A and B are shown apart, each in its own frame.
Chain A
Amino acid sequence: MQPPNIGDIAPDFVLSTGRWLSDVRGAPVILAFHEPGWDPARADEIEGYRHLIQAGEEPQRVLVSNDEPAAALYGAARESAVFVLDGRGRIAWRHVAGIDPVESAAEIAALGLQTNGDGVRTAWSRRGFVATAIGAAVALTLEPTFGRAQTAAAQLPSGGTTTGAAVGDAVPVTLNVNGQTITLNLEPRVTLLDALREYAGLTGSKKGCDHGQCGACTVHIDRRRTLSCLTFAVMQQDKKITTIEGLAASAGATGDSLHPMQQAFIEHDGFQCGYCTSGQIMSATAMVGEPWGPGDDDVREAMSGNICRCGAYPGIVAAVQEVRRNGGGQGR
């Protein structure tokens, strides 16, 4: 089903608390459809959307799994989506992953939001959500209509003048990440890692040292494992970049299924805190295609560029060996 348009009355459905959506009219509502599955951070994810609402109004927050029937009414079945409803129950703003970017741009323009012609940096870009993926034409500078703290002028440093957000040096940088083309407005000194994490909202790649000394930032560039902290985004424009977020799909996994390496890491408990894990898995999936010998010691050596301070090495080695025994699962 198509998502409802801006200005439409939001389709009604029963909230899990037994009330209807229409019962909560009177205050703005943020309605978010999320991927199914357990995610403790979800509750606060929606906090971010709160900032879309005008100052003084306390929005209702409604979180719905995109597995539920209601998601279909909103064109959000199996998609991540966010709708902002005004106090009268009309759609004031929406984002549904995968909808036509131009449409979004038009909608945003219709909302009277300011966009900044070439800028694409969004204040709250979120993987699969809004924004950065939308392309060079649109920048969501949401604050003028919805923002609150962010509309206030930044204080001047004492005795100085501020140049504000002059990103004179920034240039449009087009990256192919996980099969999607994204354009970001970046200074040349922005590393690929920071471009992913801070500009594109892809926070799966981690920063553990920023100096090539830990491997947490490992991504695949043209199928090779690479440290994203030691290369500039601007240098990677014609390459295929795969991050942990796109790994499973790159190996042909569909829906919720994982890359075999991801599954093996779960089975063998190849992590604890999880912070090095994206890098470990990206490294491991590429390492499987390199001409290493078959032994555990080969894995240990090949995986030594990925530090795990939790010390999950035995599980990591076991996971890699299982995948290698089962024929690789070499998705990049």
Chain B
Amino acid sequence: MSDGRAPSVGAPLNRVDGRLKVTGGARYAAEYPLPNVAYAVIVTSTIAKGHVKQMDTSAAERAPGVLAVLTPQNAQRLPGYGGNTSGTAVPNAYGPPAMRVPTLLQNDEVHYNGQPIGVVVADTFEHATAAAQMVKATYTEDKPVLDIHSAPKNPPETVKPLGGERTSKHGDVASGLAAATVKVDQTYTTPLENHNPMEMHSTIAAWDGDSLTLYESTQGITSVRNTVAKSLGLTPDKVKVVAYFTGGGFGSKGGPWSHETLAAMAAKRVNRPVKLVLSRQQMFGPVGGRPHTIQHVTLGARPDGALTAVRHESTSNTSTLENWVESAAAQTRMLYASPNIETQYDLIKLNVGSPTFMRGPGESSGTFALESAMDELAYALKMDPVALRLKNYAETDPESGKPWSSKSLRECYATGAAAFGWDKRNAVPRSMRDGRLLVGWGMATATYPARRQAAGTTARLLPDGTIDVRAGTQEIGCGTYTVMSQIAADALGVPVSRVRFELGNTDMPENPASTGSVTAASTGSAVNEAALALKAKIEQLAPGGLASNSAADIVAKNGGQPVEVTVTSKPGAEQQQYSMHSFGAVFTEVHVDPDLAIIRVPRVVTAHGVGKVLNAKTARSQLQGGVVWGIGMALLEETHVDMRSGRYLNADLAEYHVPVNADVGTIDVHFVEENDPHVNPIGVKGAGEIGITGVAASIANAVYHATGKRVRDLPIRLERVMA
């Protein structure tokens, strides 16, 4: 850079927060040592639909250490509670993410089993949990709606996928199908899933007069601030949200739910700071999940593989509180070139907790269907699945006709296939073996949009030479502390060790939530811009800048004050000119026991084009993590709900199976270098979500190759392969 220093961006630097994380020093939401903190425990409903008739709190109130019991009867009425009582959503009632409707003890309605209906506050965690178990509620119970296969569909006008329309129509699928010689027409399903970050959602709420501080486990400090403020009838400046470390989120912590505001209400009631940590069981229902999807995919092709028609209809469930759409057809609108593409969403209201963004929302469940169907088509055509995809390669966005800001999917296929040894595949099902085990090789395409939002950053030069950079973003495991330090260091031409990047506090400039893979692009662009502006300002004050002047001198020239700049960096016209997406290819080997149907995934090879890789080490980890999620999605994960009571049945980590170490083999991650001059000033597209997309299909396709058994319902449990 200016001083000839090698750029740190791209280098596989160790995480700057690594030391804190390996020593137990990183502090998560429930770990702030506030004086005199009291403990709150949420009481949840035991029916799925109806009304709370009465809550007997007498035993709990008499229990040792209990300070308060909040119920729908006695909870403070919230001026800003926009939640309605009729069950229809109030769009944007709570700010981003849209349409979230919390349950804040403002009425006696029960919408799902496990819904918060009370809060017990006591002096210790033990007293609070014991007392919460003493609260007994009685209900007037209605028959819950729980079966997505038999429940009625929502009126179409209530189906509003984020950032898109309910239906899309490009050409005419009916005529495209008429022209097809080979067709695939199948239904694929994905089950309810829950995020289960390792850190449970947690809040410490502390009032100071009419100001509230929330120590929060969140991916979005700003949306928590705005929403909680609104619910409580406060202006946002009265609420401060702090989150220096968040123990994973994967979407469930993208915005606030009910517990943050409930903690604030409890703290107000007992006039002490209150700590509220959800139990693992309460992570099922009250804090979102991936909805069930039923996806009908129809493909038509000519003998050479050219797609004449693509139709993808996805029906997913929502709750009776909100209308939330899993955008499972999103990739179908843009992934393959076909003259005729139609997609459609439908919603079904069930008495379950509200669904929300869950890692690769839309694209992960959607690519399972589309990329399984493509594999079926490849077999029907007797064509190599990679060749089929190349045949239908979209040189421009088929939906909008816009050019890609960059796309290296062709190189991804080639790189992945070469690293995997795809050319040695015998395509005949059950043809490959390793001893007794059936070997299956499958592949699928990965894709996820490259988004960017407005973001702010303050950068300061301190007298001791430290560059202090602040942005109100979040560290949820993506390496934000590290990559932002690298961006700032390169822009200023200083070593990374001189940069102190701070985040996670709403006193800092506003940034988007760490969801949808936007952080690197949005906050990264802002940090870059702020650092460049700081550099210019320093140059103005002291020609030659940091290379020729000491920080102390520069600060002295600035009247003894730290040199400071604040910027807000926004996406521009390029958003309209280009279609911006990451792409990749996933190649998977599975081993299947021919008798016991035990499926293992010893090897996954991926190749992705994600724009500029900011840190080769952390980016690799993110993509590997995405693959691990894909393995879970493909083989293990499903939230079971009792079809009579709506009770979450496997609401723990023993029976809700996320992958353990032994479920994961080698994951060989490749990056295809991309130079994207359009997507944003730093050329990054984001790596958080794309890693999971395509993986489930790639595994399902490999299972088919291994066994000859096409499983169209996730997860691929052994009985589905045995049968």
Q: Which residues of A approach B to under 8 Å, CB–CB? A: 16-18, 37-41, 43-45, 47-48, 51-52, 123-126, 142-143, 147, 149-150, 152-155, 157-169, 187, 189-190, 194, 197-198, 201-214, 216, 243-245, 248, 258, 262-263, 265-267, 269, 271-278, 281, 297, 299-301, 303-317
A208 near B198 with CB under 8 A, answer yes
CB distance from B473 to the nearest CB of A (A): 12
Identify which of B139-147, B294-302, B449-457, B624-632 touches chain A. B624-632
Contact of B625 among A142, A155, A311 (CB under 8 A): A311
B629 near A48 with CB under 8 A, answer no
A163 near B66 with CB under 8 A, answer yes
- Contacts between chains A and B (CB distance < 8 A), count: 295
Bound CA–CA A201/B27 (angstroms): 11
B200 near A207 with CB under 8 A, answer yes
B653 near A41 with CB under 8 A, answer no
A210 near B279 with CB under 8 A, answer yes
Chain B residues with CB below 8 A from A303, complex form:
661
Known contacts A160-B61, A313-B664, A314-B624; 15 additional CB pairs below 8 A are A40-B17, A52-B35, A150-B35, A154-B67, A157-B68, A160-B62, A203-B24, A205-B24, A206-B199, A213-B280, A265-B18, A266-B14, A266-B19, A301-B661, A317-B661
B627 near A311 with CB under 8 A, answer yes
Contact of B653 among A162, A245, A307, A312 (CB under 8 A): A307
Contact of A275 among B17, B35, B199 (CB under 8 A): B199
List the A residue with the shortest CB-CB distance to B71.
A158
Contact of B621 among A165, A243, A272, A307 (CB under 8 A): A272
List the A residue with the shortest CB-CB distance to B270.
A154
The count of residues in chain B whose C-beta lies closer than 8 Å to any C-beta of chain A is 103
A273 near B197 with CB under 8 A, answer yes
Contact of B662 among A167, A269, A300 (CB under 8 A): A300
List the A residue with the shortest CB-CB distance to B622.
A272
CB distance from A104 to the nearest CB of B (A): 17
List the B residue with the shortest CB-CB distance to A190.
B126
Q: Does any Cβ of A come within 8 Å of B571's Cβ?
A: no
CB distance from B694 to the nearest CB of A (A): 15
Chain A residues with CB below 8 A from B462, complex form:
16
Enumerate the 5 nearest inter-chain pairs by beta-carbon distance, A residue then B residue, closest first: A204-B24, A311-B628, A275-B247, A273-B477, A274-B21
Bound CA–CA A301/B660 (angstroms): 9
Bound CA–CA A209/B14 (angstroms): 29
Bound CA–CA A157/B20 (angstroms): 41
Chain A residues with CB below 8 A from B208, complex form:
149
Q: Please, what's the 1-or-0 string for B499-527, where 1 marks a CB less than 8 Å from any CB in chain A?
A: 01011110000000000000000000000
A314 near B666 with CB under 8 A, answer yes
Chain B residues with CB below 8 A from A248, complex form:
23
CB distance from A188 to the nearest CB of B (A): 10
List the B residue with the shortest CB-CB distance to A248.
B23
> Which residue of A197, A203, A212, A300 has the most chain B CB atoms within 10 A of its CB atom?
A203
Contact of B664 among A18, A194, A305, A311 (CB under 8 A): A311
Contact of A312 among B206, B215, B621 (CB under 8 A): B621
B662 near A304 with CB under 8 A, answer yes
Chain A residues with CB below 8 A from B658, complex form:
307, 309
Bound CA–CA A153/B123 (angstroms): 12
Using A48-B35, A155-B270 as known contacts, say yes or no to A269 and B664 having CB atoms under 8 A apart: no
CB distance from A267 to the nearest CB of B (A): 7
Contact of A267 among B14, B33, B625 (CB under 8 A): B14
List the A residue with the shortest CB-CB distance to B250.
A309
Chain B residues with CB below 8 A from A202, complex form:
24
A-B contact pairs, 28 of them (CB 8 A): A16-B464, A43-B505, A44-B505, A142-B35, A154-B38, A155-B270, A157-B57, A160-B57, A161-B62, A163-B64, A167-B64, A167-B124, A169-B64, A189-B130, A190-B124, A197-B31, A207-B277, A208-B200, A211-B652, A213-B652, A213-B653, A216-B198, A266-B14, A266-B22, A271-B477, A272-B478, A273-B247, A300-B664
Chain B residues with CB below 8 A from A197, complex form:
30-31
CB distance from B249 to the nearest CB of A (A): 8
CB distance from B129 to the nearest CB of A (A): 9
B248 near A157 with CB under 8 A, answer no
Using A155-B67, A157-B57, A266-B18 as known contacts, say yes or no to A149 and B273 having CB atoms under 8 A apart: yes
> Which residue of A123, A155, A201, A273 has the most chain B CB atoms within 10 A of its CB atom?
A273
A307 near B67 with CB under 8 A, answer no
CB distance from A186 to the nearest CB of B (A): 9
Chain A residues with CB below 8 A from B200, complex form:
207-208
Bound CA–CA A273/B64 (angstroms): 37
Using A157-B66, A204-B23 as known contacts, say yes or no to A306 and B661 having CB atoms under 8 A apart: yes
Bound CA–CA A290/B299 (angstroms): 54
Bound CA–CA A307/B659 (angstroms): 8
Identify which of B238-246, B421-429, B704-712 touches chain A. B238-246
Q: Does any Cβ of A come within 8 Å of B318's Cβ?
A: no
Q: Please, what's the 1-or-0 string for B21-50, where 1 marks a CB less than 8 Å from any CB in chain A?
A: 111111110111111111000000000000
B245 near A41 with CB under 8 A, answer yes
Q: Does any Cβ of A come within 8 Å of B620's Cβ?
A: yes
B33 near A155 with CB under 8 A, answer no
Chain B residues with CB below 8 A from A41, complex form:
26-27, 32, 244-245
B 297-311 contacts with A by CB, 8 A: none
Q: Does any Cβ of A come within 8 Å of B65's Cβ?
A: yes
B35 near A258 with CB under 8 A, answer no
A245 near B24 with CB under 8 A, answer yes
Bound CA–CA A237/B594 (angstroms): 51
CB distance from B517 to the nearest CB of A (A): 14
Q: Does any Cβ of A come within 8 Å of B236's Cβ?
A: no
Bound CA–CA A168/B196 (angstroms): 36
Q: Does any Cβ of A come within 8 Å of B106's Cβ?
A: no
B24 near A187 with CB under 8 A, answer no
List the A residue with the shortest CB-CB distance to B36.
A150
B61 near A40 with CB under 8 A, answer no
Using A48-B33, A161-B62 as known contacts, say yes or no to A152 and B271 having CB atoms under 8 A apart: yes
A48 near B34 with CB under 8 A, answer yes
CB distance from B69 to the nearest CB of A (A): 5
Chain B residues with CB below 8 A from A160, complex form:
57-58, 61-62, 66, 69
